[in-house]
Amino acid sequence: MKKVLYIFLTVLSFNLSAQPPSKWYNKFGGAGIDIGYGVKETFKRHYIVAGSTSSFGYGATDAYLILVDSMGQKVWEKTYGGVMSDVAKAIVVNPVDSGFIFTGYTGSIGNGGYDVYVVRTDKNGNLIWQKSFGGLDWDFGNDIVMGPDGNVVICGYTYNSKYGQKDGYILKVNSSDGALIWEKKYGGSNHDELASVIYTSDGLISLCGTKTSNGIDNDFWLLKLNLAGDSVLSKSVTSFTTNEKCFDFIENKNNELVFCGALDTTVSMSGNYSSYLIRTDLTGGFLSQVNFTNGAIPEERFSSVCNVKNQFEICMVRKIYQGVFKLNCQPFKTQNDFTYLAATTYGDDEDDELFNIENCSDNGFIMTGYAKSYGAISEDVFLIKLDSTVFGAQSVVGVPSNTPSFTKDVYYNNNTIYFENNNLMQIDISIYNIVGDLVQQSISTSGSCKVTEHPQGIYFAVIRKENSFKKLKFIIH
């Protein structure tokens, strides 16, 4: 009994002291189209992903939440919505109960067409309330932020226009019961859309988006509201005779605003864009700009930006075209003055894209989007965790999830990994340490593989047999 207790305490001590890997990637979904649009780190150092799925649920697409643990493994997944199309675009963690509130749009409930969709769940994804907001025409939610009073502010756009063909749409919603506190519409006579909302250090609600200034040119748009939702400032941050599209912004650690998006670099404004950053003061006063290009194409852009924790740097995710490898996603880091620091490209021979990046408590980053590569049947939710360097590592948990697995369990005992190999086929075994470094590569034609001597700790093995694979986590004492 004492020996059994000693073994249990030893394993427990390793579980308590072991640190999760600082970088990994994984994908989630089924046979349909599954996309991640927003992600946040939770208070337990898990990650909550908000998106859409046509693989699961009730309708054409359902809003989709996935909770992923610090090892990159799924804890649970839930769908929300009805028989039509429903999508989650952005999410916040509710400090009251560690649950979640997300926004997006719904075609299943509401007044007509699409409406802004706001949903609150508990920490296990169970529905507490769901609400829709909008008129008879289309209304969409793009982003959500938790305010200092514990209520949420949502931004997006509406075709139930007050000023133009499409207006920016802002709502404040009571987090407790989903009741509307106020709603506002802002814009000009053309198409205007709000993409992102934050609370800034000047005590205002600040929003960014894209404004059509004269029916032709698109400009980055800065809108500032007081806490009652009244406009304090509305300004085109860019005013060039080119098209610009704004997708996200932050306040950096110098109390400046950094906007990210795309810039049409062609004289004829033919729609070929490069990745574009602009920096202003808190009132939108121009400070600097830069554009990076891999050969301007319609799709190139910076989609999302965040601060680097404990550093005066910023990190973005970039959508670029890689020729034969099609559209790839690229975490991209610069100093606050846009001096290039580092980048890592993810993607294979199909389109892969990231929509959101957030900094994490370990100084690293979490980001989400979709992958058509890596064995996806159609499109899978793509989730990448990187450390502060943004340099990639060989995947620990990112083995294609839609390929078949072994029919029997793989297990570890006495420095040996055992697996099924009745036909004496060639088996490839890759072993990774806790930070994702490859520490052993072996080939076996038997049903086992001896693990070479490694330091004590948690390890991961990926055992591949033709198109099948099996993953194993084990502890070396």
What is the domain-level CATH number for residue 451?
2.60.40.3080
- Report d(CA 75, CA 383) in Å as an integer: 14
Number of H helices, E strands in the chain: 1, 35
**Are 212 and 64 in a shared domain?**
yes
In a domain, 3, yes or no: no
Q: What was the pLDDT predicted at 411?
A: 83
**Are 243 and 326 in a shared domain?**
yes
Q: What are phi and psi of 437, to 5 degrees?
A: -80, 135
Nearest Cα to Cα of residue 94 among 172, 155, 150? 150
- Report d(CA 327, CA 388) in Å as an integer: 24
| 27-45: pLDDT as tens digits | 999 989 999 999 999 988 9
Is the CB of residue 145 less than 8 Å from the CB of residue 197?
Answer: yes
Give the single-character DSSP code of 138.
-
Say whether 470 sits in a helix, a strand or coil.
strand
- Report d(CA 342, CA 327) in Å as an integer: 19
Say whether 324 sits in a helix, a strand or coil.
helix
**Are 375 and 442 in a shared domain?**
no
In a domain, 347, yes or no: yes
| 207 to 51, 276, 282, 365: CA distances (angstroms) | 22, 18, 12, 23
**Are 416 and 334 in a shared domain?**
no
Say whether 435 sits in a helix, a strand or coil.
coil
pLDDT tops 60 at residue 16: no
In a domain, 361, yes or no: yes
Question: Which of 73-77, 93-97, 393-397, 408-412 is predicted with the least confidence, judged by mean pLDDT?
Answer: 393-397
- Report d(CA 328, CA 350) in Å as an integer: 8
Mean pLDDT calculated for residue range 249-267: 92
Q: What was the pLDDT predicted at 409?
A: 65
**Are 320 and 422 in a shared domain?**
no
Strands of the sheet containing 457-465, edge to edge, are 438-444, 427-432, 457-465, 468-476
**Are 148 and 296 in a shared domain?**
yes
- Report d(CA 145, CA 172) in Å as an integer: 10
Mean pLDDT calculated for residue range 446-471: 80
Strands 457-465 and 152-158: unpaired
**Are 321 and 246 in a shared domain?**
yes
**Are 232 and 344 in a shared domain?**
yes
Q: Which domain holds residue 444?
A: 403-476
Residues 6+ apart with CB under 8 A from 438: 394, 430, 431, 432
Q: What was the pLDDT predicted at 240?
A: 65
**Are 436 and 351 in a shared domain?**
no
pLDDT tops 90 at residue 398: no
pLDDT tops 50 at residue 387: yes
pLDDT tops 60 at residue 407: no
Which amino acid makes up residue 286? F
pLDDT tops 50 at residue 139: yes
Specify the number of domains making up the chain: 2
- Other beta carbons within 10 Å of 229: 16
Bigger pLDDT: 462 vs 338: 338
**Are 377 and 409 in a shared domain?**
no
In a domain, 391, yes or no: no
The encoded tokens of residue 441 equal 């590569």
**Are 205 and 301 in a shared domain?**
yes
Domain boundary among 352, 386, 420: 386
In a domain, 7, yes or no: no
Mean pLDDT calculated for residue range 256-281: 88
| 361-372: pLDDT as tens digits | 999 999 999 999
Residues 6+ apart with CB under 8 A from 347: 322, 325, 326, 327, 328, 329, 371, 373
**Are 204 and 178 in a shared domain?**
yes
For residue 363, the domain's CATH number is: 2.130.10.10
Which amino acid makes up residue 226? N
Strand partners, 374: none
* Signed CA dihedral, 192, 195, 198, 202: sign only: negative
What is the per-residue DSSP string for 146-175?
Answer: E-TTS-EEEEEEESS-SSSSBEEEEEEE-T
Average pLDDT, the chain: 87
Say whether 9 sits in a helix, a strand or coil.
helix
| 146-165: pLDDT as tens digits | 999 999 999 999 999 888 88
Give the single-character DSSP code of 33.
B
In a domain, 11, yes or no: no
The encoded tokens of residue 233 equal 């400032």
The encoded tokens of residue 295 equal 């050969």
Q: Which secondary-structure segment (H or E) carries 471?
A: strand 468-476
Strands 286-297 and 152-158: unpaired
In a domain, 166, yes or no: yes
